[in-house]
Amino acid sequence: MMKNQDTMSSHKKILVVGGGIGGIRAAMDLAESGRDVVLIDKSISIGGLMTQLDRTFPTNNCDLCTISPRLSEGGRQERIELMTMTEVKTVSGEKGNFTVTLSQAPRYIDLDRCTACGDCYKAFPECVTFSPGLDHRAPTCMRYPQAIPQAYAIDMQKCQDVEALENICKAGAILPQQELKMTELDVGAVILCPGAAIFDPSGLDHFEYEKNPDVVTSLEYERILSASGPTQGELVRPSYGKNPEKIAWIQCVGSRGIQKGAASYCSSACCMFALKEAMVTKERFQDSIETTIFYMDIRTFGKEYEQYRERAENEFHVNLLRSRPHSIVGDAATGNLNITYTTDNDGLSKTEAFDMAVLSTGFCIPDDIKDMALNMGIELNAHNFAKTDVFSPVSTSIPGIYACGLFESPKDIPETMVQASAAACLAARETHPAVNTEEDTTKNLPERDVSNEDPKVGIFICDCGLNIGGVVDTQSLADFGKTLPQVAVSQVVGHGCSKVAMDIIKQTIIDQKLNRVVIGGCSPRTHETKFQDLLKKAGLNKYLVEIANIRDQNTWVHADAPQAALQKAQHLIRMAVTSVKCSHPLTDHSLPMNKDILVVGGGVTGMSSALSLADQGFKVFLVEKTAQLGGIAKNIQKTIEGQTVPPFIEALSKKIVQHSSIEVIFNAFIVDHTGMPGMFKTGLQIAPQMYYRQIDHGITILATGALQNRPNEYLLGEHPDVMTQLDMDGFLEKTPDRIKAMGTAAMIQCVGSRCPDNPDCSRVCCQSAVKNALRMLDINPDMRIFVLYRDMRTYGFLEDYYLEARKRGVIFVRYEKDNPPEVEAAEKGVTLSFVDPILGKRLSLSADCLCLSTGLVADDESTEDLAMIFRLQRTRQGFFLEDHVKLRPLDLSTPGFFVAGTAHSPKNIKESIADAQAVAGRAQALLAKNTIELGAAIARVDSNKCAACLICVRACPFDVPFINADGYSEIDPAKCHGCGVCAAECPAKAIQLMQFEDDQILAKLDGLLERMVA
C-alpha cells in the first residue's frame, strides 16, 4: 500500500515537543496512523494552556469532558511515549533521519508505582507538587482529575528529611537518587508545538498591575472565574474580597505595539477571550455587574464569532467602548480603580471608576523557546515565532521539522488543532507506519461463551495501600462479599492495578471459571479500561466487569467516619454485584474500512488534501463540478506576503493531474449517497452526457469552497469604476497603467458582511484591502487611498501590513454600522460621502475607483444539496458545521467526513492549505486501521415495542434516530453517541442503552436498598 518505502526510514519515531492541546492532537493523530511518538513536555503533566481556561469561546463550555477522554487517551495510547519534565537539547541530521538529545529532569517518583494517593503530599506539602489541582492557585476544574501522568513530583531541594519522605510512600515510589537523564533518540521528524508565553504587564506602571491586586491579567481572571480557583468560583475582588460591581477589560496589552515592550502583531484571540469572560461574568454571577471592554478594533473574525460579539452586546449587555485608556490609577481612599480614557465623539478626557480591571495580555515567545528553536537552527520571523511559508503553513525552514499552534503564530484553539493535524500529516510522511496497527489480541484468551451459565461472580477488593485499607477493614469487606448470592470468590488483592494483583485476578477468573467480576477499588473513570483489558486476557467479554468506587467516592471522603465508610463500601459492593449479574457480553461495533478517498472540490484546498493523501499511496477521487482545477484562488494574483499565486496553482494542478493515485473527475455533480462509516457509496452525474457513476470510499473530504460575495450595493456591477477586492487583485496585475493614472482610490469594508443578511465577518477582506492598498502604492506611490472600515481585523502578523499601510499614507477612516458611507456616480469615478468620527463632520471625496471588500459567502446552493445528500449539518449562513467547534474543527459528525477550507468558513490561502493538510492527517489516522471502532454503548430499539411515536427522533441531541421503512425507530450504531436520552424518553420503553440498561440501573438500586424494604 505504501509507496516510496525506500525514502522512508521505517520504525523511526516522531518527536513531538510540547504537550499542550496541539501536541496531544498531533501525537494522537500520529499514533492512530500507526506511528510511534515521543511526546515531551517540560512541565510535570501534559495539558498546556487550555487546561487553565475555565471556559472556552464560542460555546462558553468548559469542554473538560471533551478534552478529558483525549488526555487520557493520550496517556493510554500505546504508541505514545510520554516524557514529562523533558526538554530537547540538540537536534542533528536531516529529514527522515534526525538525532535528538533530550534532557529529563528528575521527578524523584517512580511513575509505574505512584498511585497518586497523596500521602507524601499530605506529609510534606512544601516539597511535593501535584502541579495542578491541589495547588489552590491552579486555575481550573480540569487540571487535577485529568492530570496525565497521574502522579506527583518532588522538589528535592526543598526536602528536609529525604528518608522520612521515602518512608511515607507505601508504594515505594519515591526515588531520591533519580538524576537528570540525557537520552539520545533517532527520529524521522520533529513537530514543535511548545506554545507561547503570556505577555507580562509588570513593567506597565500606568496600569498599576504590580501595585494593585484588583488589576489582573485575563488568565488570572479566568482563574477567579474557575470553580477550583483560589476563590472557588466566587467572583470577588482580590483586594477586599467583596463582589465587584464594575469590571473593565483593556485590550491589546502587549499586542499591536501599544505599550512599552509590546509586540507589534495582534494576538488574535484576546478579543474573543475578553468577550467570553465578560459574558460568563454576567451569566454566572450577576447580571447587574457592569462589564466594559476598552478596545481598538474588536477582532471577532472566526467562524460565527461576529454573532458571538452581537450576543455579548445585545443579550448580555457587555459595553464595548472604542478607546485606548490612558491609565489605571487606584484610589486608596475609595478602593476604586480610576480609568482615564478618551472617546472619538467628543475627544474629551473622562475618568470612570471601576472595581476591577482585566488586562487582555497577548502571546509572546519566551526566551527558552526561542533558544530551543535557534539551537535547532530553524529560522524565526521578526517576532521570534517559527517562520513558515504561505504555501506550506506548518513547515519550518528545516525540512522534516514542523511547527504548529502558538509557536507558529498567535491563534486560538481550533486553528491550533488544525495545524497540529497538518503537522502530523506531514511528519507521518517521514516514517513508515507499523505493520500491524490493529490491537494486539494475541495475549487474550479466546472469549468464553457465558450466555448459558448462571452468574458466578468474583469480587476483588483493593486496599490501595492505606488509601482504602487504612480506612476500612478490607478483609471484612471481602468476607461480606462472600455472603452475597452467586458470589464464588471474594478476596483482597492489595494494589489491584499492580501487575502482581492483575495476574492473581486473571488466574482466579480462569481457575474458578468466573463469569462476572467486581473490582472494589478506585474510579472506573480512570481504571475501567485497565480491568476490561484484564478480562479479555482472561477470556471473558470485557463488559462483564463492574467497578465499585470504594476509594475516591468512599474512603477518601469518609475517612473521618470509618464505620460509615465500611457500611457504604458494603453497599457499593452489593450494588456492583447485583448490577454485574445483569450485564451480558457486548460486542464493540466496528465496520470495515474502505481506504479510498473522495475529495469534493478541486480548489487549492481540495487539491492540497488530495495530494497529501495520494503521496502516501492512497487512492483519491477528486470531484470537481467545473471543467478546471483551481477554484476561487484562480482569481488571486498575490498574497499579502508578496508570493505570486498562479504559478503555485499551476504546479499543484499539474501534480494532481499527473499523479497516478489521483483520479480527477471534472464536470461532476454529486447526486446520491448511501452506506455507513468506513464504506460509503456516492453517486455522480457527469456532464455533458450526464452519465452516472458510483464511487466506493471510506473517507469524504468536503472542500467545496465559498463564493465571492457580490451584493447589490454601492453601484457594484453598475459602474465601471466600482469593483470588489478580488476584481482589484486581477486589475492591479493586468492593468497597472490604469492604477498609475489614478489620483484617489477608496475602499469600503464590510460590504455584505456583518449585516442582517450576512451577520458573519468574512475574515479575509481587511487583509485583502491592506494588500491591495499596498500594491497600489507600489505601482503609484503618490496615490491617495482611503479605507472606510468598521473594525480593522488584521489579526496575527497581518497587523504588520496594516501598520505599513498606515505608515505609507493610506488613510483609514472608521464608519458606524448605522451610518454607512454613501456613494454616487460622478462624471469620472465616484463621489463618496461619509462621517469622519474624529472630526465629527460629514466629508465628501471623489475617487477614481472604489473597491468594495465584499468577502466570501457560503455557496449556499451546493452546500444545501450536499448537506441533504450526505445528511450533514450546516450553519445558518450555509457553511458546513463541524463536530466540535473547538476540538474537532474539521471533523464532521459522521465518522470519516471532514470539511476543509472555505467550505468551513472564510479563510485565506495559507489557512486553507493548513486545513487541507489537517484533514489529510485526520483521514490517515482512520485509514491506518482496517476497521472503524464504534464502541458498545449504543442505543438499541426493540421493534416489537416501538410505537413509532417520534419522541426519540425529537429528543436525540444528535438527530440520529429515524423511523425506517418498516415503520419503527432505527438508531444507526455508527452515529449513536451513547447518551441514552432516547432510552429515558421512550414512552414504550422500546429503547435500551447498552452497558447502562434499565435492569442494570434498577439492580444497582436493589443492591443499595434491598435491606431497606424487605
Partner 1 sequence: MITAERKPLEEIIASVKPFQRILLVGCNECVTVCAAGGRKEVGLLASALQMHFMTEGKTIDIKEITLERQCDPEYVEELNVHMDQADAVLSMACGCGVQEIARRYREKPVFPAVNTKFMGASERQGVWAERCQGCGDCLLGLTGGICPIARCSKRLLNGPCGGSTTGKCEISPEVDCVWQLIWDRLKALGMQDRYEDITPAKNWQTGRGGGPRKIIREDLAE
Partner 2 sequence: MEQFEPVVVAFCCHYCAYTAADMAGSKRLAYPANVNIVRVPCSGKVDAIHLMKAFEKGADGVYVAGCLEGDCHFKNGNTQVARRVAYVKRLLDEIGIGGKRLEMFYMSAGMGERFARIATEMTEKIRDLGPNPVKSALNKKKGKAVA
Identify the residue among 2, 741, 838, 1002 touching partner 2 (CB under 8 A).
1002
Instruction: Note whether 405 and 419 are within 8 A (CB).
Output: yes
Chosen from partner 2, partner 1, none, partner binding at 987 (C-beta under 5 to 8 Å by type): partner 1
Q: What residues between 79 and 118 interact with partner 2 by CB under 8 A?
A: 116, 118
CB of 1002 to partner 2, least distance (A): 6
Instruction: Compare residues 116 and 823 and give the one whose CB is closer to partner 2.
Output: 116
CB of 583 to partner 2, least distance (A): 14
828 binds partner 1 (CB under 8 A): no
965 binds partner 2 (CB under 8 A): no
- Segment interacting with partner 1 (CB under 8 A) among 642-650, 801-809, 959-967, 988-996: 988-996
Chosen from partner 1, partner 2, none, partner binding at 950 (C-beta under 5 to 8 Å by type): partner 1
Identity of the amino acid at 313: E
523 binds partner 2 (CB under 8 A): yes
275 binds partner 2 (CB under 8 A): no
Instruction: Note whether 364 and 197 are within 8 A (CB).
Output: yes
User: CA-CA distance, 175 to 104, in Å (whole number)?
Assistant: 15
Q: What residues between 925 and 964 interact with partner 2 by CB under 8 A?
A: 937, 955, 957-958
The secondary structure of residue 1012, as a DSSP letter, is T
Chosen from partner 2, partner 1, none, partner binding at 863 (C-beta under 5 to 8 Å by type): none
Chosen from partner 1, partner 2, none, partner binding at 565 (C-beta under 5 to 8 Å by type): partner 2
Site size for partner 1 (CB under 8 A): 14
- Per-residue cell: 641: 506576503
Site size for partner 2 (CB under 8 A): 74
Buried b (16+ CB within 10 A) or exposed e, 93-125: eebbebebebbbbbbbbeeebbbbbebbbeebe
- Per-residue cell: 274: 475578553
CB of 124 to partner 2, least distance (A): 16
| 784: Cβ contacts below 8 Å, ≥ 6 apart | 743, 744, 745, 809, 811
Instruction: Compare residues 33 and 467 and give the one whose CB is closer to partner 2.
Output: 467
Q: What residues between 928 and 987 interact with partner 1 by CB under 8 A?
A: 945, 947-951, 954-955, 986-987
- Per-residue cell: 629: 482545477
CB of 996 to partner 1, least distance (A): 17
Chosen from partner 1, partner 2, none, partner binding at 951 (C-beta under 5 to 8 Å by type): partner 1
564 binds partner 2 (CB under 8 A): yes
User: CA-CA distance, 333 to 336, in Å (whole number)?
Assistant: 8
CB of 937 to partner 2, least distance (A): 6
- Per-residue cell: 940: 438499541
Angle between helices 524-537 and 499-511 (to 10 degrees): 50
Chosen from partner 2, partner 1, none, partner binding at 236 (C-beta under 5 to 8 Å by type): none
Chosen from partner 2, partner 1, none, partner binding at 999 (C-beta under 5 to 8 Å by type): none
- Per-residue cell: 196: 507561547
Identify the residue among 215, 572, 750, 792 touching partner 2 (CB under 8 A).
572
Q: What residues between 533 and 552 interact with partner 2 by CB under 8 A?
A: 549, 551-552
CB of 989 to partner 1, least distance (A): 4
CB of 944 to partner 1, least distance (A): 9
The residues facing 91 across adjacent strands are 100
623 binds partner 2 (CB under 8 A): no
Identify the residue among 227, 329, 707, 825 touching partner 2 (CB under 8 A).
227
Instruction: Compare residues 80 and 550 and give the one whose CB is closer to partner 2.
Output: 550
Identify the residue among 39, 154, 544, 575 touching partner 2 (CB under 8 A).
575
Instruction: Note whether 933 and 590 are within 8 A (CB).
Output: yes
Closest CA to 664 of 605, 612, 697, 620: 620
| 840: Cβ contacts below 8 Å, ≥ 6 apart | 345
Q: How many CB atoms lie within 10 A of CB 208?
A: 18
Q: What residues between 17 and 76 interact with partner 2 by CB under 8 A?
A: 59-66, 68
The secondary structure of residue 257, as a DSSP letter, is T
Rg (Cα) of the chain, in Å, rounded?
A: 31
Kindly write out the interface string for residues 873-912 of this chain, putting x where it contacts partner 2 by CB under 8 A and - elsewhere.
Answer: ----------------------------------------
CB of 141 to partner 2, least distance (A): 2
CA 402 remoteness from chain centre: 19
Q: What residues between 111 and 140 interact with partner 2 by CB under 8 A?
A: 116, 118, 133-134, 140
- Per-residue cell: 810: 493610506
Total length of the chain: 1014
988 binds partner 1 (CB under 8 A): yes
Instruction: Compare residues 133 and 585 and give the one whose CB is closer to partner 2.
Output: 133
User: CA-CA distance, 245 to 358, in Å (whole number)?
Assistant: 14
**Torsion, Cα of 372, 191, 64, 759 (10° steps):** 100
Between the alpha carbon of residue 206 and those of residues 80, 178, 212, 337, 353, the distances in Å are 47, 47, 11, 12, 15
End-to-end CA distance of the chain: 65
DSSP E strand boundaries for 72-157? 80-84, 86-94, 97-104, 128-129, 153-154
Kindly write out the interface string for residues 231-270 of this chain, putting x where it contacts partner 2 by CB under 8 A and - elsewhere.
Answer: -xx-------------------------------------
DSSP E strand boundaries for 552-595? 589-592
Chosen from partner 1, partner 2, none, partner binding at 392 (C-beta under 5 to 8 Å by type): none
- Segment interacting with partner 2 (CB under 8 A) among 263-271, 437-445, 507-515, 562-570: 562-570
Instruction: Compare residues 513 and 989 and give the one whose CB is closer to partner 1.
Output: 989
Instruction: Note whether 785 and 808 are within 8 A (CB).
Output: no
Instruction: Compare residues 65 and 868 and give the one whose CB is closer to partner 2.
Output: 65
Q: How many CB atoms lie within 10 A of CB 349?
A: 10
User: CA-CA distance, 795 to 815, in Å (whole number)?
Assistant: 20
Chosen from partner 2, partner 1, none, partner binding at 990 (C-beta under 5 to 8 Å by type): partner 1
Identify the residue among 105, 803, 981, 988 touching partner 2 (CB under 8 A).
981
CB of 118 to partner 2, least distance (A): 7
- Segment interacting with partner 2 (CB under 8 A) among 176-184, 224-232, 422-430, 479-487: 224-232
554 binds partner 2 (CB under 8 A): yes
Instruction: Compare residues 613 and 993 and give the one whose CB is closer to partner 2.
Output: 993
1014 binds partner 2 (CB under 8 A): yes
Q: Cα-flanking dihedrals φ and ψ of residue 15, to 5°?
A: -95, 125
Instruction: Note whether 188 and 98 are within 8 A (CB).
Output: yes
Identify the residue among 556, 648, 797, 898 touching partner 2 (CB under 8 A).
556
Instruction: Compare residues 197 and 1008 and give the one whose CB is closer to partner 1.
Output: 1008
Identify the residue among 374, 741, 950, 1009 touching partner 2 (CB under 8 A).
1009
User: CA-CA distance, 858 to 880, in Å (whole number)?
Assistant: 9
- CA dihedral (429, 431, 435, 439) positive or negative: negative
- Per-residue cell: 42: 517540560
Identify the residue among 111, 835, 867, 1001 touching partner 2 (CB under 8 A).
1001
User: CA-CA distance, 131 to 153, in Å (whole number)?
Assistant: 8
Instruction: Compare residues 192 and 986 and give the one whose CB is closer to partner 1.
Output: 986
Closest CA to 890 of 428, 306, 390, 422: 422
Chosen from partner 2, partner 1, none, partner binding at 525 (C-beta under 5 to 8 Å by type): partner 2
State the SS3 of 488-550: EEEEECCCCCCHHHHHHHHHHHHHCCCCEEEEEECCHHHHHHHHHHHHHHCCCCHHHEEEEEC
Residues interacting with partner 1, by CB under 8 A?
945, 947-951, 954-955, 986-990, 1013
